[in-house]
């Protein structure tokens, strides 16, 4: 393909502003999806995406487009909007020269509109501003065009107006992309260099690696080299997605496509690595990506511990398609063998556990999520704690917690409630700017731990759903934190240890001990359940002793009933964990962890 006729662009927007719907209309107009195969949000290919109505993965697709008698090749990438999937967006941006910035004409600019725009500008992409949903009666295109024009410094006429629902304005939008997005500028004669921006494990074909060709050409049956890994492969297929995998003989500079090597070893394909040819390798790899920093950690344990090796295999494969996921093995007294996993947020964590269950058949339990702490002890030793149960013993000099800078956009009548909410979450207010006479952007510094859990839901409810939130890591601060342990008959249950603010320690202790008292069955002896900070007990509940033997119920009854009861007990025992002398059904741990 002639590079001057290629246009690579992505669609970026705040969540729900209509990226996938606009992508549908573009796909349809290009004619590559037959009418009977078209369905809503065509590029949201996963079941979870369809069910939840959100995009989780960036999806690249190639389309033909004819303008003034010339046929162009478009590389379009639909991206996710939720803050937890920013890493997906940032990698997609790297594969493009332009970005369509979509804004819902009934809502205007929201927090992820800004963060996505700033990322695109940092990558020097050409921005095409577009108002979507102009078919809705509540759309206020003039007002929001003004907002956008102010933001990116263009005139209001340059802001296109479209409807992903009716298709109005979509043809003009694509023509604008062809006119304004620059063609790729790689050197077609240079040694091949392609950036790996994504990959996926396919159980039939092995690893599928998605690449953006920068320089040179890759050809069928030509050995390739992964520059970072240093491995050499024979590709068995090269191709483009249009709209499904379509083999091609070669991929040239500027093209977006895929490679299949038939290799099943998942470590061979690393997002951010550069692909070159073995015969004529490039000297320098492409810059690649910065590894994302996990925001929250949680332990994932198979409910059936025999599934541990399968869980490792599933994580390795899922990681191919989710480069933001990190994990390392962990053991827990209460839950057995599992993995401590790092996520970009709670939605990311939820999606990972759900994909592990759906795509890999894993039945999992997740421990309560926490952020990372830097702990300095009185003896000067330093510890990075991603797991509360690994919190060092002894006298603590200082604990640093991660801080974020948060940007909240809200109609001005909610400024008061938002300030109150942020204060309750230990936020420090920075500046505040008016985006328009009615809407403001407020800046806060806040502990990450205060924002990742319930903050967003509360923000939505206090602003009738009108406020939006975005945040980025912004260093650390020292904080008054303590570790609370939960003990059953004097034994610490690691899965329930938590690092909490001093003011919230008591509440956590009372909540956990009460919960466990209800969940653990009575036994032959009394069982104390305690919450402690170091050796100081802050809460206690007691499970009183069982007076009667289980068989007493069957006194005088027939023997088969008795045997049945004993067998039932035995089956139940398999799922019991021994903590000292106390038998705890695994269900009790699961129930205690899952209800928050
Ligand atoms: P994420 O990928 O999850 O960030 O969402 P998205 O930006 O891809 O939004 P999506 O295309 O899923 O659209 C969100 C909702 O808006 C859906 O219910 C769409 O049907 C609706 N929608 C999208 N575009 C239009 C439009 O032009 N007009 C109207 N009336 N509704 C639209």
pLDDT of residue 1: 75
Q: From CA 71, how far away is CA 253, in angstroms rounded?
A: 18
Distance from the alpha carbon of residue 163 to the mean position of ligand 1, in angstroms? 10
Pairing of strands 336-343, 296-302: antiparallel
Q: How far apart are CA 98 and CA 9, in angstroms?
A: 5
- Supply the pLDDT for residue 42: 83
Q: Which two tokens stand for residue 130?
A: 């577009």
Query: In the prediction, which pLDDT does 596 show?
Result: 44
- Which tens digit of pLDDT belongs to each residue from 484-523? 999 988 888 888 888 988 988 999 999 989 988 888 888 8
Q: Which residues pair with 239 in a beta bridge?
A: 247, 258
Query: Residues within the annotated binding site?
Result: 16-21, 132-135
Global pTM reads 0.85
Give the per-residue pLDDT at 194.
95
Integer Cα distance of 84 and 343 in angstroms: 8
* Chain segment 471-486, per-residue pLDDT in tens: 989 999 999 999 999 9
Evaluate whether 277 touches 222 at the Cβ level (below 8 Å): yes
The first and second tokens of residue 564, run together, are 């049945």
Ligand 1 atom showing the smallest separation from residue 13 Cα: 7
Eight-state DSSP code of residue 370? B
Q: How far away, in angstroms, is 164 Cα from ligand 1 center?
A: 7
CA–CA dist 92, 78 (Å, integer): 9
In a 13 Å sphere around the CA of 471, the CA atoms on its Cβ side amount to 25
Ligand 1, atom 21, lies closest to the CA of: 18
- Pairwise CA distance, residues 445 & 422, whole Å: 9
- CA atoms of 577 and 587, how far apart (whole Å): 10
Phi, psi of 439 (to 5 degrees): -125, 145
Task: Give, as one character, the DSSP assignment of residue 222.
Answer: -
Q: Are 80 and 13 in contact (CB under 8 A)?
A: no
Residues in the ligand 1 pocket, defined by CB under 6 Å = 13, 15-21, 41, 53-55, 80-81, 132-133, 135-136, 163-165
Which pLDDT score, from 0 to 100, does residue 560 have?
65
ipTM above 0.90, yes or no: yes
How many angstroms separate the CA atoms of 587 and 584, rounded? 8
Residues 489, 510, 378: CA angle, nearest 5 degrees: 75
111-122 and 141-152 helices, crossing angle to 10°: 40
Determine the distance separating the centroid of ligand 1 and the alpha carbon of 166, expressed in angstroms: 12
The CA distance from 286 to 274, in Å, is: 6
Residues comprising the binding site for GTP? 16-21, 132-135
Which residues in the chain come in under a pLDDT of 50? Answer: 554, 572-573, 596
Q: What is the pLDDT of residue 342?
A: 95
Q: For position 548, what pLDDT does the model report?
A: 58
Cα 376 to its chain centre, rounded Å, is: 30
Tokens representing 143? 């007002």
> Which atom in ligand 1 lies closest to the alpha carbon of residue 55?
2
Nearest CA to 328 out of 319, 363, 452 is that of 319
- Which residues are CB-contacts of 319 (< 8 A; sequence separation ≥ 6)? 266, 325, 327
């Amino acid at each position: 393909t002639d590079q001057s006729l290629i246009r690579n662009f992505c669609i970026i927007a705040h969540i729900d502003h209509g990226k996938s719907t606009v992508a549908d209309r573009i796909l349809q107009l290009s004619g590559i999806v037959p009418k009977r195969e078209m369905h809503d949000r065509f590029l949201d290919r996963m079941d979870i995406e369809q069910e939840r109505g959100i995009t989780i993965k960036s999806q690249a697709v190639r389309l033909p487009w004819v303008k003034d008698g010339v046929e162009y090749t478009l590389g379009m990438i639909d991206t996710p909007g939720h803050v937890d999937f920013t890493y997906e967006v940032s990698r997609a941006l790297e594969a493009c020269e332009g970005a369509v910035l979509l804004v819902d004409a009934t809502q205007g600019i929201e927090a992820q509109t800004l963060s996505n725009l700033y990322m695109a500008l940092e990558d020097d992409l050409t921005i095409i501003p577009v108002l979507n949903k102009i078919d809705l009666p509540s759309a206020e295109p003039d007002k929001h065009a003004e907002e956008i024009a102010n933001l990116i410094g263009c005139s209001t006429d340059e802001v296109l107006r479209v409807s992903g629902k009716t298709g109005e304005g979509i043809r003009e939008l694509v023509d604008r992309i062809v006119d304004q997005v620059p063609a790729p500028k790689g050197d077609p004669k240079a040694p091949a260099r392609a950036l790996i921006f994504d990959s996926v494990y396919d159980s039939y074909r092995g690893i599928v690696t998605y690449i953006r060709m920068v320089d040179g050409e890759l050809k069928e049956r030509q050995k390739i080299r992964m520059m970072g890994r240093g491995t050499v492969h024979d590709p068995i297929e090269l191709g483009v997605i249009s709209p499904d995998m379509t083999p091609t003989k070669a991929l040239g500079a500027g093209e977006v496509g895929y490679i299949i090597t038939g290799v099943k070893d998942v470590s061979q394909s690393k997002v951010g690595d550069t692909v070159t040819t073995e015969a004529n390798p490039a000297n320098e790899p492409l810059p690649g990506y910065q590894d994302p920093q996990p925001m929250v950690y949680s332990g994932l344990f198979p409910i059936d511990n025999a599934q541990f090796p399968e869980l490792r295999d599933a994580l390795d494969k899922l990681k191919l398609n989710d480069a933001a996921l990190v994990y390392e093995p962990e053991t827990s007294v209460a839950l057995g063998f599992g993995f401590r996993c790092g996520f970009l947020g709670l939605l990311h964590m939820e999606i990972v556990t759900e994909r592990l269950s759906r795509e890999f058949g894993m039945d999992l339990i997740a421990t309560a999520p926490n952020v990372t702490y830097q702990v300095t002890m009185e003896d000067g030793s330093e510890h990075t704690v991603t797991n509360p149960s690994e919190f060092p013993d002894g006298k603590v000099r200082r604990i640093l917690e991660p801080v974020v800078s948060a940007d909240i956009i809200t109609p001005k009548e909610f400024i008061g409630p938002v300030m109150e909410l942020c204060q309750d979450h230990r936020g420090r207010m920075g500046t505040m700017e008016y985006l328009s006479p009615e809407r403001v952007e407020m800046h806060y510094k806040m502990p990450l731990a205060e924002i990742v859990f319930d903050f967003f839901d509360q923000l939505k409810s206090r602003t009738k759903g009108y406020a939006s939130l975005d945040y980025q890591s912004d260093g650390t601060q020292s904080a008054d934190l303590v570790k609370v342990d939960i003990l059953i008959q004097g034994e610490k249950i690691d899965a329930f240890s938590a690092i909490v603010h001093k003011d919230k320690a008591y509440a956590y202790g009372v909540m956990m001990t009460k919960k466990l008292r209800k969940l653990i069955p009575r036994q032959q002896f009394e069982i104390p359940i305690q919450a402690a900070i170091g050796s100081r007990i802050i809460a206690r509940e007691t499970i009183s002793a069982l007076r009667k033997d289980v068989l007493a119920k069957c006194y005088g009854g027939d023997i088969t009933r008795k045997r049945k009861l004993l067998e039932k007990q035995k089956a139940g025992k398999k799922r019991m964990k021994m903590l000292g002398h106390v038998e705890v059904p695994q269900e009790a741990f699961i129930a205690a962890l899952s209800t928050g």
